[in-house]
Amino acid sequence: MKPLGFNSLGKMWAILLAFLLSASTLYADDLHISNEFSLTHNHISGPGQASSSLTEGLRYLNVLGITGAGQIKGFDYNFNFGGKATDDNRNDVKSLSLTNLQGRITDKINTVNVGDTFESFSQYSLGTSLKGASYRFYDEVSNTPDVTVVSGLAYPRWDNVWRERETRTVERSAFGSRIKYNFTPDFFAGANLVVSDDDKRIRTTDPLYNNMVYSLDMEYRPIPGLTLRTESAFNDTKLSEREGADYEINHGYAHKIEAIGDGGPSRASLEYERIAPDFQTLLGSATPDREKAKAKWRYRYSKTLSINTGFLWFRNNLEHQRAFTTNNYKPEAGITVKRLFDRQYSTTSISYKFDRKYGGTTSASNHITNFGYRDKFGIFDSETNLGYTLYNTKNSVIDSKEYIYNTTLSSRHTLEKCILKPSLYLGGWTASDELADTKDVIYEYSLGLGVDIPDRKITSDVRVGMNKFEKEAAGTDDSLKTFVVMSLYYRPDFLAKLNQGLLFLRASINDFNYTTETRDFRETSITSGINIQF
């Protein structure tokens, strides 16, 4: 099944669409163009420079975006076009790429979309964007059936459409349709059909799917504050696991029901889901071989006290096709208190989560506790976070403790012509492995200063700091990273006519030192550029 025939004609089709959208800019009532161009110079030194993720030398990046909207002969239309050019593989594997291309036209009853197309039918049927087209018919005044048809290719990039060497992937064509009807203002039902077909392997081990999902979803609001939702889906799937392998046929199902109550100080939700092992949805969302129950309750006791609780349970082996069943239980509870001890700006939060997993030879119990406190002391705003996690397994696979601790102090001072924003960060992480009798520790601190000059339309920030990682395990390296990060943004008057004209400069120095000196290296990166919008 090839709904749009995107292969050798794909590139020509995209170029034609881009031309039509570009031509429409001449007649658009509302047109916006943005372009950001930057130059980055990276210098990497030291014996371990191969470990750097930066690209050595001078590199450029240009990002273009065009959006427009207008009316023509009773139709409303809008469009957007975007492109990227770069010579740095860190930004993109392609030197020139089309990032987005979309056009939409409607008379409030009939709607056509071409290019980047996102039609969300339901969870199990369709929630993936396509490179293609869609048509929707719906007359809200007459309450006609809401009909949507979509066709295209399930590709993340436009380069995939014309199968460029660097971005080639398995071709997945798709077709979908949805009919939805509002029986009352509080009740609707929708029927969905989505078909996808894979072709053109890149590697001999690439699996190819031919998949059909059909589903029914409903929503009902019987009383104010209560919403009931449900969906049932079934699939027919053919799978060829590798080149030369015959297709195997699978059939499965997925069912979900959800209740949401929201009224007054309380909000609660209940959810139950059961998905068969052989259920496959390539354009929707589902985890095969899972039965799940989930509950959440949030209660606002007063303006200063709120409580959150939750419970999640799920298991696999629904059809006893495995040697054993694995169960997971995850209850959690939390409380948030404002103005503790009559402090006007204080917010305190405490949460606890129990993560239990068992089945077969696996048995794990994890305890996760977090504490947070925000307040203002004189001129300083502060935020402190503490975390403790205990990992415990029955068969002594993992028995460890993890501690997280950090605090931030910041303030803001308005002087005659500038605003100063100093800040301090202190933090750390400790992991203690009782089985290996080792302890890993991370210490980090940084000092920052932001300087804004409103009259000159200048915003700047500089931060210096250190990150130290100490390991006790034999054969591992300690590491020390020192860094400086700086940014400067300036909106000069001569760019004012370009609406949001902006000049920027960003720089950073990262110095990495290890116990093994041959791994040491330093990165220096400077980026300057201009952003214009009109």
Pick the closest to residue 155 from 213, 97, 85 (CA basis). 97
Question: Is 160 strand, coil or helix?
Answer: helix
The confidence score (pLDDT) of residue 9 equals 43
Assess whether pLDDT exceeds 60 at residue 16: no
Assess whether pLDDT exceeds 90 at residue 513: yes
pLDDT in tens, 243-295: 989 999 999 999 999 999 998 899 999 999 999 999 999 999 999 999 999 99
Pick the closest to residue 37 from 20, 2, 62 (CA basis). 62
The confidence score (pLDDT) of residue 22 equals 55
pLDDT in tens, 123-139: 999 999 999 999 999 99
Instruction: Tell me which of 20 and 442 has the higher pLDDT.
Output: 442
- Rounded to whole angstroms, how far apart are CA atoms 340 and 320? 52
Domain boundaries, the chain: 1-28+101-285, 289-356+368-386+403-411, 412-534
The confidence score (pLDDT) of residue 467 equals 97
φ and ψ of 287, to 5 deg: -110, 110
Long-range contact list for 485-494, CB < 8 A, 24+ apart?
485/461, 486/460, 486/461, 486/462, 487/460, 487/461, 487/462, 488/458, 488/459, 488/460, 489/458, 489/459, 489/460, 490/456, 490/457, 490/458, 490/459, 491/457, 492/457
Q: Find the range with the poorest average confidence among 6-10, 29-33, 264-268, 270-274.
A: 6-10
- For the question of whether the overall pTM of this predicted structure is more than 0.75, the answer is yes
Domain 1-28+101-285, what fold?
Porin (2.40.160)
Assess whether pLDDT exceeds 90 at residue 167: no
Average pLDDT over residues 31-40: 94
The confidence score (pLDDT) of residue 120 equals 94
**What residues pair up with 401 in beta bridges, in sequence order?**
390, 432
Residue type, 509: I
Assess whether pLDDT exceeds 60 at residue 448: yes
Contact indicator for 125, 194 with CB cutoff of 8 Å = yes
pLDDT in tens, 340-367: 989 999 999 999 999 999 998 889 999 9
- Rounded to whole angstroms, how far apart are CA atoms 55 and 527? 13
Angle CA 533–78–151, to nearest 5: 125
Average pLDDT over residues 295-311: 97
pLDDT in tens, 464-491: 999 999 998 888 899 999 999 999 999 9
What is the percentage of the chain residues whose pLDDT exceeds 90? 84
Spatial neighbors of 192 by CB under 8 A, at least 6 apart, are 121, 122, 125, 126, 176, 177, 178, 213, 214, 215, 216, 217, 233
Give the β-pairing of 458-470 and 187-199. unpaired
- Rounded to whole angstroms, how far apart are CA atoms 286 and 207? 19
DSSP structure string for 246-283: PPEEEEEEEEEEEEEEEETTEEEEEEEEEE-TT---SS
Query: Confidence band (pLDDT; 50, 70, 90) for 7?
Result: very low
pLDDT in tens, 168-220: 899 999 999 999 999 999 999 999 999 999 998 999 999 999 999 999 999 99
Give the β-pairing of 248-263 and 266-275. antiparallel
The confidence score (pLDDT) of residue 2 equals 40
The confidence score (pLDDT) of residue 162 equals 84
Encode 149-184: b = buried (16+ Cβ within 10 Å), e = exposed: bbbbbbbebbbbbbbeeebebbbbbbbbbbebebee
Spatial neighbors of 222 by CB under 8 A, at least 6 apart, are 186, 228
Q: What is the DSSP letter of 163?
A: T
Query: Confidence band (pLDDT; 50, 70, 90) for 28?
Result: low
Assess whether pLDDT exceeds 90 at residue 42: yes
Instruction: Identify the H or E element spanning 14.
Output: helix 10-24
